[in-house]
């Protein structure tokens, strides 16, 4: 996937982030708030955003990167318009959810954790989605698909294109 992040085109977003940073007390623990806000504004935390935060807060970029990559709620890579989650919890796994995951990877030409080149889909393997009675289960955004047969994957994906 190609990341076309342009600082020049994001001036308004950087101003919004600057205003947020200026509005909070820059104290121990504020980095998490700032990273949450930055990800809300930009959708992810590319190097340019991390560098901006470092410059505005005097927090070393290595620390910012460490926090951004340690916590799973943050991402340093852009995500697709649609997020696909395939449950690999026990109930789904024994009902062949791995075959669903493989079919999606084959159809989209991506691996788990990757985003399609058109930024339409991001694929994640998840643990229990709480729909064990519908196993095997996959989700696209907030839509749950239960008792999924791998042969139905192309049809499901095409409905989002």
pLDDT tens track for 80-100: 999 999 999 999 999 999 999
What's the rounded Cα separation, in Å, for the pair 142 and 83? 9
**Average pLDDT for residues 135-149, to the nearest whole number?**
96
Q: Which two tokens stand for residue 124?
A: 């994640």
Lowest mean pLDDT among 3-7, 34-38, 60-64, 148-152: 3-7
| Cβ atoms 32, 58 nearer than 8 A | no
Domain covering 82-158: architecture:
3-Layer(aba) Sandwich (3.40)
- Of 60, 20, 12, nearest to 36 (Cα)? 20
User: pTM of the prediction?
Assistant: 0.68
In this prediction, residue 2 carries a pLDDT of 46
Residue 156 has pLDDT above 80, yes or no: yes
- Maximum pairwise Cα distance, the chain: 54
Whether 146 and 108 have beta carbons less than 8 Å apart is answered as no
Paired strand residues for 138: 86, 145
Dihedral pair phi/psi, residue 139, rounded to 5°: -125, 145
Q: Give residue for tokens 């205003």.
A: 19
pLDDT bucket at 1, cuts 50 / 70 / 90: very low
């Amino acid at each position: 996937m190609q990341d076309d992040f342009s600082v020049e085109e994001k001036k308004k977003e950087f101003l919004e982030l600057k205003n947020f940073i200026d509005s909070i007390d820059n104290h121990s623990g504020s980095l998490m708030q700032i990273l949450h806000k930055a990800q809300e504004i930009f959708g992810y935390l590319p190097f340019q955003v991390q560098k901006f935060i470092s410059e505005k807060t005097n927090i070393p970029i290595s620390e910012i990167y460490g926090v951004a990559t340690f916590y799973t709620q943050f991402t340093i890579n852009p995500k697709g318009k649609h997020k696909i989650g395939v449950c690999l919890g026990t109930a789904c796994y024994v009902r062949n959810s791995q075959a669903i995951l493989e079919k999606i990877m084959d159809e989209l030409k991506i691996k788990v954790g990757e985003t399609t080149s058109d930024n339409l889909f991001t694929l994640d393997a998840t643990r229990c989605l709480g729909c064990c009675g519908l196993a095997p289960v996959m989700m696209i955004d907030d839509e749950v698909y239960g008792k999924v047969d791998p042969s139905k994957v192309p049809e499901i994906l095409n409905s989002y294109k």
